[in-house]
Amino acid sequence: MTARIIDGKARAEALRKEIAAATRQLAQAHGLVPGLAVVLVGENPASQVYVHSKAKMTVEAGMHSVEHRLPETTSEAELLTLVGQLNADPAIHGILVQLPLPKQIDGQKVLNALDPAKDVDGFHPMNAGRLATGLPALVPCTPLGCVILAKSVHASLEGMEAVVIGRSNIVGKPLVQLLLAENATVTVAHSRTKNLAEVCRRGDLVFAAVGRAQFVRGDWIKPGATVIDVGINRIPKDDGKSRIVGDVAYDEAAGVAGAITPVPGGVGPMTIACLLLNTVRAACAIAGVPLPAMGIRPG
């Protein structure tokens, strides 16, 4: 069997177009321009690349984009002051503090200081709790993108066996909540799970969010399963350069799975599109106007 490739890049582009149309409608009908502030502390090269593409796509979607680049030596108090200013700024509806933060800053303290209504990453305990209890919430972007991609293959996830490998607050745990909300039967595997290959083979849907290059092997996949690979790992190439691979051994898994996301070009582009979606949702909620109709369900 050769798996269908789930084109996350194309799906993300389509979603960004829908968001741009919604943004135009909000400007015309309500004079509302969603605004996203991205805060980057330090010089982490991967974070710089992400922040640059986030800002570019925010503007392309017709939104107001603000970038704050602070030095590596920024104190926790300085960052908290900036968060307070952004919380109070009426032109800003979404605030994203790029992780990881330098050692002198307690990341959880910063997340706790965000106005939950502007927490477009969905990492504030209030949003995590609302998601877990089934209340409307701003939902973390990467898991939201994963579910949208799974639903591009299966109209309904109801009753499907979903295996999530990874239990981080950023990906694994919120993904579990979203899958439960879709009425999937969810198994969460993690670093202490026994017989991982066997557990993984239960999955009609497999979500790999481990952070280890090509960790999930082809013979861990149930024939015909849908595989969503969240991993972004840099590995060396023979020519001394490097390339990006996922947490799944792609060639092996693609020979067994029914559908699979590539890396790059799978979950990654969906994450930024979902960030824009969350910014529009936040802007509508703050302004008290209805979210324009879009082809996808925001989760």
Task: Report the interface residues with ligand NAD, using CB under 6 A.
Answer: 142, 165-168, 170-172, 189-191, 193, 196, 209-212, 230-233, 247, 267-268, 271
Work out how close the CB of 74 gets to ligand NAD at its nearest, in angstroms, rounded to a whole number. Answer: 22
Residue 54 known to be catalytic: yes
**Catalytic: which of 54, 118, 173, 222?**
54
Residue 247 known to be catalytic: no
Work out how close the CB of 270 gets to ligand NAD at its nearest, in angstroms, rounded to a whole number. Answer: 8
CB 3, CB 252: distance < 8 Å: no
Residue 98 known to be catalytic: yes
CA angle 165-169-172, nearest 5°? 20
Phi first, then psi: give them for residue 295, nearest 5 degrees.
-70, -15
Q: Which is nearer to ligand NAD, 264 or 292 (CB)?
A: 264
Work out how close the CB of 292 gets to ligand NAD at its nearest, in angstroms, rounded to a whole number. Answer: 25
Q: Which is nearer to ligand NAD, 18 or 121 (CB)?
A: 121
* DSSP per position, 86-129: HHH-TT--EEEEPSSPPTTS-HHHHHHHS-GGG-TT--SHHHHH
Shortest-Cβ-distance residue relative to ligand NAD: 168
Q: Which is nearer to ligand NAD, 35 or 174 (CB)?
A: 174
**Catalytic: which of 121, 204, 229, 247?**
121
Residue type, 129: G
DSSP-derived pairing of the beta strands 242-245 and 233-236: antiparallel
Separation of alpha carbons 182 and 178, rounded Å = 6
Which residues are part of the catalytic machinery? 54, 98, 121
